[in-house]
Amino acid sequence: MANLSPPRAAAARHPVLEVSDVVAGYGAHTILHGLDLRVEAGEIYALLGANGAGKTTTLSLFLGFVQPGRGRVRVNGADPLSHPTAARRQLAYIPENVALYEHLSARENVAYLLDLAGQPAGKQAVNEALAAAGLDAAAHERRVSGFSKGMRQKVSIALALARKVPALLLDEPTSGLDPKGTAEFNRLLALLRAQGVAILMVTHDLLSAADVADRIGFIDGGRLVEEVAASGSQRFDVRALHRRYANHEAQR
């Protein structure tokens, strides 16, 4: 298993993504029941759980799409509900199926989205971000309509690199990727972590999470029921993690 531990010179840690004692849901249906979660600067946090456990609702809290009935949510100090614009400027979000403008090239997509974010950049800066994200130079001027999922993710990572946001949210980022694509994506996450970005990924992919995450949290019934931190050269005992995951699933 690849060792993607953060470098010793990583940025000083402080909470960037915070959820404290949150109760939230949709209408009369409560999904989160007193959720507490922290993701620090320069940390990759993987949140695992079954469908309906509250993973997507947790992401929606940070995006300001769900209003908590109780508790506190912060994105680098900004409240996504009372100050949605300020909060969204602090983060990038990559959904399971990356949405880009199909008729635009990779470079044009990044340049346009940077303009929308109020952070315009020149052609060279955009190309440098795309190169840092691992996209071949020959693909920079190609329309994204023919891109694979992995290539689309590289465009999104390039946008996050260019924006220099302190937080990144990921929804099932390795779904549909082959092992090589997953390893490359994890390399890009390690690059962002080294820049001090706080990364929260929700996933079913335990092996990928164990490869790259600094902490893995298990969510069940809208509560964080267990957290495991990486340690040593092996980082995680994958078999023990699998048993924990299976036990949480079986108890549902």
At 36-67, the pLDDT tens digits run 999 999 999 999 998 889 999 999 999 999 99
Selection from 212, 191, 44 nearest residue 129 by Cα: 191
Any residues with CB less than 8 A from the CB of 74 and at least 6 apart, and which? 15, 17, 18
Q: Answer whether residue 12 shows pLDDT above 70.
A: no
What one-character-per-residue DSSP string does 165-210 give?
A: -SEEEEESTTTT--HHHHHHHHHHHHHHHHTT-EEEEEES-HHHHH
Give residue 219's Cα distance to chain centre. 16
Range with the poorest average pLDDT among 152-161, 175-184, 211-220 = 175-184
Tell me the mean pLDDT in the region 125-133: 92
The pair of three-digit structure tokens given for residue 132, joined into one six-digit string: 């840092």
Selection from 28, 43, 16 nearest residue 229 by Cα: 43
Confidence (pLDDT) at 219: 94
Q: Answer whether residue 6 shows pLDDT above 50.
A: no
Q: Answer whether residue 30 shows pLDDT above 60.
A: yes
Confidence (pLDDT) at 1: 39
Q: What percent of the chain has pLDDT over 90?
A: 58
Distance CA 61, CA 185 (A): 25
pTM: 0.86
Tell me the mean pLDDT in the region 8-23: 76
Please enumerate, as own/partner, the contacts of 63-66 that have beta carbons within 8 Å and a separation of 24 or more: 63/88, 63/91, 63/93, 63/169, 64/88, 66/24, 66/25, 66/26
Check residues 200 and 51 and name the one with the higher pLDDT. Answer: 200
Beta bridge partners of 32: 24
Confidence (pLDDT) at 248: 63
For residue 145, name the pLDDT band (cuts at 50, 70, 90).
very high
Confidence (pLDDT) at 245: 73
Any residues with CB less than 8 A from the CB of 162 and at least 6 apart, and which? 110, 114, 119, 121, 125, 126, 129
Q: Dump pLDDT digits (tens) for 85-126.
A: 999 889 999 888 888 999 999 999 999 999 988 889 999 999
Distance CA 218, CA 236 (A): 14
The pair of three-digit structure tokens given for residue 196, joined into one six-digit string: 């001090």
For residue 8, name the pLDDT band (cuts at 50, 70, 90).
very low
Tell me the mean pLDDT in the region 16-25: 96
Confidence (pLDDT) at 252: 58
Confidence (pLDDT) at 7: 41
